[in-house]
Amino acid sequence: MGNPVAFNRPHTEEERARVSAAVKLAYAEGRKQPVRAQHRKGTKLTDAQKAQISATLTSGHHVPWNKGAEMGPRPESVRQQISATLTGRSKPIAPEKATTWKAKISASKRGKAQSTESNEKRSSGMLRAYAEGRKVVSAKSGYGKRVPYLSPFQGVVTLRSTSELQRAQELDALNLVWFYEVQRFSVAQGTRKHTYTPDFWVVPGVSRVDVPEDFRTYLRNLPAPAVDIEDVKGWWGPKHRTYAKIQAFQEQYPELRFRIVQRDGSRSPTCLT
C-alpha cells in the first residue's frame, strides 16, 4: 500500500512551479478563461451571510437594475462603435459548426418571399457596389466566347464575345477613350425589376493622357451627353432575349446617349440608334 496522502500540507516549490506552468499553458491554448471576480475567488459565504442575502432578495425592496428602463434599439453612434470594433474580427466558431449553422439558416429561409422593402434595399446596395467598383459583373455571365483583353485604363477585362473583342480593337485603333461595363442600371419591366449593364462607355474628343487614374469619378463628373454608351450585339431585333429590357432601359434613361453597335464577323460595325 502506498504512502497516505497528506491533506492541507504546503506545496513544495517544485509542485508550485508545475501547477503554474500547467495553468499558463491552459490560458495560452484557450482551455481556461480569466475569472471575472478574482477578489471573490475561493470565498465561502457563512450561513448568516446567506440568510441576509436571501432576506434582501425576498423582501420586495430589491429593485432590478433594468426595471422600467427603456430597452429599445441602441443609438446609431453605439451601433457604429460596435460595428467598428467587430469588423474584421474572426468568428469564434468551428468551421464544421459554421457550415451546419449556415445550412440551417438557408433551410429556414428557403421558399419564403422577401418583402418589397428588403428587395429594394438589397438592389440599391448592389447597384452602389457596382457603381463604386467594389463589385464587378462575373466573367461567367453571358453566352458568348470569353476573351481576356488589355484595356487602356482598367487593365485586363474579360470580354464576353468576339463581337465585343472586335469593337474593343476598333476603339483602340481609333485611339478613343473607352471603359468596359462601368455601371449597372436598375430597369423596371411591369411589376418586376431587373438590372442592365451596357458594354462600352466611350468618351469622344478626349485625349487618353487627360484621363485620371480614378476613371469612375471622372465619368461621374462628366455630363451624360458627353459619353457614348454602347451595347455590342452580333444580331439585333425584337426576338433578341434582351430586346424588351433594353427598350425599357432607353425609355427610363432618356438623358443617356445610348446606341446598339451590331457586329457581323469582321465587317465594319453598324450603329443602330
pLDDT in tens, 157-216: 989 888 899 999 999 999 999 999 988 898 988 888 888 999 999 999 889 988 888 888
Min mean pLDDT across 80-94, 116-130, 215-229, 234-248 is at 116-130
Give CA separation, 172 vs 150, 175, 201, 262, in Å.
10, 5, 13, 18
pLDDT confidence of residue 168: 93
By the 8 A CB rule, do 179 and 200 touch?
yes
**Does 131 fall in a domain?**
no
pLDDT confidence of residue 246: 94
252 vs 53: which has the higher pLDDT: 252
pLDDT confidence of residue 41: 66
List the alpha helices (DSSP H) in the chain.
13-28, 47-58, 76-86, 95-109, 116-131, 162-173, 215-220, 243-252
Q: Using CA atoms, how far apart are residues 264 and 267, in angstroms rounded to an integer?
A: 6
- For residue 231, pLDDT over 50 is answered with yes
pLDDT confidence of residue 177: 93
pLDDT confidence of residue 138: 59
**Does 107 fall in a domain?**
no
Picking from 176, 180, 173, the residue whose alpha carbon sits closest to that of residue 148 is 180
**Does 240 fall in a domain?**
yes
pLDDT confidence of residue 94: 77
Give the pLDDT confidence of 108-147 residue by residue, as tens digits. 888 777 777 887 788 777 777 766 667 666 555 555 578 8
**Does 86 fall in a domain?**
no
Percent of the chain, pLDDT > 70? Answer: 84
Half-sphere exposure of 153 (CA within 13 A, CB side): 26
Picking from 126, 144, 272, the residue whose alpha carbon sits closest to that of residue 195 is 126
Q: What is the CATH number of the domain that holds 191?
A: 3.40.1350
> How many helices and strands, by DSSP H and E, does the chain display?
8, 9
**CB-count burial class (<10 Å; 0-12, 13-18, 19+) for 230:** buried
**Does 91 fall in a domain?**
no
By the 8 A CB rule, do 200 and 170 touch?
no
264 vs 260: which has the higher pLDDT: 260
16 vs 37: which has the higher pLDDT: 16
**Does 93 fall in a domain?**
no
Domain that holds residue 166: 147-272
Q: Please state the rounded mean pLDDT for residues 226-248.
A: 91
Q: How many domains does the chain have?
A: 1
Bridge partners, 271 (sequence order): 261
**Does 120 fall in a domain?**
no
Give the pLDDT confidence of 31-74 residue by residue, as tens digits. 877 665 556 667 788 899 888 888 888 877 777 777 777 777 88
pLDDT confidence of residue 203: 92
Residue with cell 477578489: 39
By the 8 A CB rule, do 187 and 193 touch?
yes
| End-to-end Cα spacing for the chain | 103
The pTM (predicted TM-score) of the whole model is 0.49
- For residue 10, pLDDT over 90 is answered with no
**Does 211 fall in a domain?**
yes
